[in-house]
């Protein structure tokens, strides 16, 4: 045999020596037969009764172990459900706070938008009023200037005619 075959054989033997999934029992049953003294009468009813008592005690220990395990599992389940409920309530509270903040932010944005629109409208109205005033002043001033120019022209022509 080569070294690799020996190593493989050793590995297989080692793996078989230790089971992959060790069975873990809560009790070790006594499988040894009851000792019967030599030369005495054997009372099979007594042996049967002792075996029944032993089986009954084993059954009671199994039942107790089962119910203790179940009780622990139920307690863990209760703890987990409490944690889940606590997380849900915390999450709901966080969502409520976030929604409130979002509403406040939206209200601020709407208020700011309305304020800007109002300022723009006021600015536009002021600009329009100023433009109208300038245009009306220009018209009036233009009339005066034209009238003044006409008067000056007539005066100038009169002066030239006189000379």
The tens-digit pLDDT sequence of the chain (163 residues) is: 555 555 566 666 666 655 555 555 566 566 666 666 666 676 788 889 999 999 999 999 999 999 999 999 999 999 999 999 999 999 999 999 999 999 999 999 999 999 999 999 999 999 888 888 777 766 555 555 666 667 666 766 766 666 5
**Structural domain contains residue 4:** no
- Two tokens at 140? 């009036």
**The pLDDT value given to residue 75:** 97
**Structural domain contains residue 10:** no
Counting residues of the chain whose pLDDT is more than 70, the rounded percentage is: 60
**Structural domain contains residue 126:** yes
Domain count, the chain: 1
**Structural domain contains residue 11:** no
**The pLDDT value given to residue 145:** 61
Phi, psi of 129 (to 5 degrees): -65, -40
**Structural domain contains residue 27:** no
- Two tokens at 131? 């433009």
Distance CA 81, CA 66 (A): 22
Domain limits at 154?
A: 44-162
Tokens 């209760």, residue located: 78
**Structural domain contains residue 35:** no
First CA to last CA distance, the chain: 149
**Structural domain contains residue 107:** yes
CB 27 within 8 A of CB 62: yes
**Structural domain contains residue 145:** yes
Phi, psi of 132 (to 5 degrees): -65, -40
Distance CA 29, CA 146 (A): 130
Give pTM, 2 decimals: 0.41
């Amino acid at each position: 045999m080569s070294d690799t075959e020996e190593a493989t054989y050793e590995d297989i033997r080692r793996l078989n020596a230790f089971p992959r999934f060790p069975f873990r029992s809560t009790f070790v049953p006594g499988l040894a037969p009851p000792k019967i003294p030599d030369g005495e009468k054997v009372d099979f009813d007594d042996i049967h009764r002792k075996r029944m008592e032993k089986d009954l005690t084993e059954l009671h220990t199994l039942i107790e172990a089962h119910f203790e395990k179940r009780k622990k599992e139920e307690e863990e389940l209760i703890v987990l459900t409490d944690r889940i409920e606590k997380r849900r309530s915390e999450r709901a509270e966080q969502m409520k706070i976030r929604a409130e903040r979002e509403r406040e932010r939206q209200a601020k944005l709407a208020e700011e938008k309305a304020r800007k629109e109002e300022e723009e409208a006021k600015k536009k109205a002021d600009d329009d009023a100023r433009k109208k005033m300038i245009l009306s002043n220009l018209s009036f001033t233009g009339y005066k200037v034209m009238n003044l120019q006409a008067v000056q022209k007539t005066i100038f022509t009169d002066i030239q005619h006189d000379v």
